[in-house]
């Protein structure tokens, strides 16, 4: 089975690229983030024509997440349990489903904005809620994974130049400690070094030729429990999907598992 995660940075803008990628890559399950559309505007019909059902959580703002599946959608959950609110709003940042016998969460972790900003504290609180949710599922016999845009680079090797991030979010000890706490629920980073590229960044800023100069970050992650990790047969960052006209600023991460 092929499972992928992709921050598409607007599913409506990126729809032609998304559908072409689905046809060429043929994933069975896809976790999407940053839909930037309302639930009503989500392009369910074009995806259904390609064989994909969808469970989504979206409110028309800059967030929004989805799970696409062509192997079934069971036990959907459209919100992270006990997720904190920001500015009075519980944002649509997590959705889950069981697809072909594999339990997946698609997550879009808050950016954090700046160290010391209220949004940074919100990010840490949100990650703690994710940890608590993962504790309920990670130890089971069912393959289970939390995929998505974590907005955290796990190590200094996961940013193109660590010195450029001094004092910034995405690399702080607090954020990395939250990731470590999530892994302690029984999850592992199943794509620490994808097999097809030496520098497996997943995000490159649109500005200052970030992608051509490979000034990137690895912030799109796949954390799986032991049954999931043991089934992984291949993994890669699809850099080709970041090329060309009008791409997302993220590339898909693809994982093949033997189930």
Round to whole Å and give the CA distance between 6 and 97.
Answer: 16
- Number of H helices and E strands in the chain, helices first, is 5, 14
* Residue 250 designated active-site: yes
Contacts by residues 52-58 (CB-CB < 8 Å, ≥ 24 positions apart): 52/22, 55/95, 55/97, 56/95, 57/92, 57/93, 57/94, 57/95, 58/92
Annotation-wise, does 170 bind a ligand?
no
Annotation-wise, does 234 bind a ligand?
no
* Residue 236 designated active-site: no
Annotation-wise, does 158 bind a ligand?
no
Ordered DSSP codes for 140-162: SSS-EEEEEE-S--SSGGGBS-G
Round to whole Å and give the CA distance between 190 and 223.
Answer: 6
Annotation-wise, does 119 bind a ligand?
no
Annotation-wise, does 7 bind a ligand?
yes
Q: Which of the following is catalytic: 149, 158, 220, 238?
A: 149
Q: Which of the following is catalytic: 52, 108, 223, 236?
A: 108
250 beta partners: 203
Annotation-wise, does 34 bind a ligand?
yes
Round to whole Å and give the CA distance between 92 and 94.
Answer: 6
* Residue 149 designated active-site: yes
Round to whole Å and give the CA distance between 59 and 61.
Answer: 6
Of the chain, the end-to-end C-alpha distance in Å amounts to 7
Tokens of 15: 């729809």
Q: Which residues are catalytic?
A: 108, 149, 250
Q: Which residues are annotated as a binding site?
A: 7, 34, 149, 151, 249-250
Q: Which residues are annotated as a binding site for Mg(2+)?
A: 7, 34, 149, 151, 249-250
């Amino acid at each position: 089975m092929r499972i992928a995660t992709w921050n598409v940075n607007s599913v409506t803008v990126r729809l032609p690229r998304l559908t072409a990628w689905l046809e060429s890559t043929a994933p069975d399950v896809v976790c999407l983030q940053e839909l930037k559309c309302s639930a009503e505007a989500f392009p369910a019909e074009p995806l259904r024509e390609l064989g994909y059902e969808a469970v989504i959580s979206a409110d028309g703002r800059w967030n929004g997440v989805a799970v696409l599946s062509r192997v079934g959608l069971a036990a959907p959950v459209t919100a992270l349990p006990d997720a904190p609110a920001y500015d009075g709003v519980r944002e649509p940042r997590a959705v889950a489903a069981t697809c072909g016998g594999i339990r997946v969460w698609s997550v879009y972790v808050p950016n954090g904005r700046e160290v010391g900003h209220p949004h940074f504290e919100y990010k840490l609180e949100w990650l703690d809620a994710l940890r608590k949710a993962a504790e309920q599922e990670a130890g089971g016999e069912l393959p289970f994974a939390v995929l998505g845009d974590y907005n955290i680079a796990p190590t200094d090797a996961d940013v193109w130049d660590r010195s450029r991030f001094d004092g910034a979010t995405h690399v702080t000890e607090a954020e990395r400690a939250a990731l470590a706490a999530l892994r302690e629920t029984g999850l592992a980073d199943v794509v620490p070094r994808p097999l097809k590229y030496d520098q497996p960044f997943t995000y490159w800023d649109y500005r200052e030729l970030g992608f051509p100069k490979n000034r990137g970050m690895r912030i799109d992650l796949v954390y799986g429990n032991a049954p999931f990790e043991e089934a992984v047969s291949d993994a890669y960052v699809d850099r080709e999907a970041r090329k060309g006209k009008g791409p997302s600023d993220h590339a898909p991460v693809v994982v093949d598992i033997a189930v």
